[in-house]
């Protein structure tokens, strides 16, 4: 609750614009139904946490943990969507989420 109540701010990390643009398309196809923007009016009822403005190192750690089986997904649809992504897709998603600047 404490961390959830904090305002999401950009990390200011560098990102590759082309990867971020590609990552935005991947997000829309595979992630946007559950992972909304932090300022979305439905953020409190969204199934997944906002991934926008998360730090790249955290996102890589989380994606690796899912891939290695050390972290369980919330719903079968997340397993299905993750299975469709390759390493390049995941890297593009990370650049997209890091590029968030609101």
- What's residue 39's pLDDT? 87
Residue 16: both structure tokens together: 């590759």
Residue with tokens 């299905």: 80
pLDDT band at 44 (very low <50, low <70, confident <90, very high): confident
CA torsion sign, 88 to 94 to 99 to 102? positive
The pLDDT of residue 23 is above 80: yes
Residue 60: both structure tokens together: 């890589």
Count of CB atoms situated within 10 Å of the CB of 57: 12
The pLDDT of residue 92 is above 80: yes
Q: Could you tell me which of 97, 102, 92 has the C-alpha nearest to residue 40? A: 102
Quote the mean pLDDT of the chain.
91
């Amino acid at each position: 609750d404490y961390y959830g109540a904090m305002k999401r701010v950009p990390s200011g990390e560098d990102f590759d614009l082309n990867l971020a643009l590609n990552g935005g398309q991947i997000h829309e196809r595979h992630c946007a139904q559950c992972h909304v923007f932090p300022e979305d009016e439905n953020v409190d009822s969204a199934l997944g946490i906002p991934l926008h403005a998360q730090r790249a190192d955290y996102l890589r750690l989380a994606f690796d943990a899912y891939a290695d089986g050390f972290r369980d997904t919330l719903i079968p649809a997340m397993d299905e969507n993750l299975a469709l992504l390759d390493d390049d897709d995941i890297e593009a998603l990370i650049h997209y989420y890091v590029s968030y600047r609101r």
